[in-house]
Every structure is written in C-alpha cells, then in structure tokens.
Amino acid sequence: MTHIQMIDRKYDKLEDEVRKDIKFYAEALEEERFKTTKLEELLNEAVEVQTAEIVTLKNESHMASRLDVRHDERFRNVEECMESLQNHLVRIENNLLEVRQVKLTGNLSQRVALSGANIVVEFLKFSLFIVASILDLVRPLTGSRNRSAVAFGLLIFAIFFGHHLTKIFFIFRSSSSSPPNATEFPTK
C-alpha cells in the first residue's frame, strides 16, 4: 500500500500544483482582459480625439480657403482700380502731348479752347471716378450700386434743395391751418 499511498500523494501534489497553475493563469488572464479593456477604451478615446481634430482642421482649412478667396477678390479689385488709374494717367499724358503739339502749331484761341475742354473732360472723368468710388464704399451698406446711387442722389438733393423744402412746407402748413383772412393780423 505504500506504493498506492505514494501515488495518491503525488496525485494530490500534482492536483494542487495544477490548481495553483490554473489559479495563476486565471488571474493572469483576468489581468490581461482588464488591460485590453483599458487599452480599448484608450484607443477609442484617441480615435475620437483624432476625429475631432480632423474635423476641426477641415473647418479651419475651409475657413482659410474662404478667406483666401475674399482676399483674392479684394486684390483683384485693387488691381483693377490700379489699371484704371494707370489708363487714366496714360490718357492724361496723351492729352498733354496733344495740347503741346497744338500749342506749337495752332493759334492762341484754339489752344485755350482745347486746353479748357481737356480740363473740363478730365475734371468730369475724375468726378465720375470719385462718385463710383463713393458708391462702391457705400454699396455694402445698401446692398447694390443702384440703391447706393439713389441714396447718394437723395442726399445731394436734400443738401442743395433743403432750404427750399422748408419754405414749401411752411406754405402748405400755413395755408391749411390758417383762417381765410390770413393776411390780417389780429388786434386787441
């Protein structure tokens, strides 16, 4: 029986060792599950943060492209104005050259008339340029160039004819509110 008892002890020892190993591996497996769960959560959070950053970067790049388009439009407008001014200066130079040639070849009255006409024409061009610039400045407030022109025209009309409007209102007010003998002054 000693042999059977020895086998029985060995079996018990082996069973204890296997239980210890199973317990150890179960604990290790549970720890690894916990670690993988934590890693999955961290990975999900990292993916969410990265997705949010990508969306933010896309929005910023979209806004930057909008700003670039606006700046390009403004630069184009400035370039167009510069070209217009350069063309205007070339015309003025050509007119001055023509005036010099006329001065050398024509009589005095023709030269004076031509010079005066050129001055008037250049003044009109300059005034139209100023009006167009003012209308372009006012356009964001009114919505269109036509509305700006109407508002600007009404303002000029009010400035030049405002003192006449008070007289007209006075006439209408005095004729409607006064009795038929408005020329007579009341006596005490």
Contact, 95 vs 118, CB < 8 A? yes
Q: Same structural domain for residues 74 and 144?
A: no
Number of domains in the chain: 2
d(CA 73, CA 139): 16
Nearest to 112 by CA among 121, 102, 122: 102
Distance CA(41)–CA(162), nearest Å, equals 77
pLDDT the model gives residue 1: 67
5 shares its domain with 95: yes
DSSP state of 182: T
Are residues 87 and 164 located together in one domain of the fold?
no
Q: Which long-range contacts (CB under 8 A, 24 or more apart) does 160-168 make?
A: none
* Alpha helix (H) residue ranges in the chain: 2-105, 108-142, 145-177
Residue 178, domain member (yes or no):
no
Return d(Cα 127, Cα 152) in angstroms, integer. 14
- Total-model pTM: 0.33
Whether residues 27 and 82 share a domain: the answer is yes
Residues 76 and 15 in one domain: yes
The stretches in the chain having pLDDT less than 70 are 1, 102-108, 174-188
Please give the pLDDT value at position 46: 92
Q: What is the pLDDT of residue 179?
A: 52
Pair (41, 90) in one structural domain: yes
81 close to 73: Cβ distance less than 8 angstroms: no
Confidence at residue 105, expressed as pLDDT on a 0 to 100 scale: 64
pLDDT for res 187: 53
Task: Note whether 99 and 30 are same-domain residues.
Answer: yes
The answer to whether residues 148 and 124 belong to one domain is yes
Q: Look at residue 188 in the predicted model and tell me its pLDDT.
A: 47
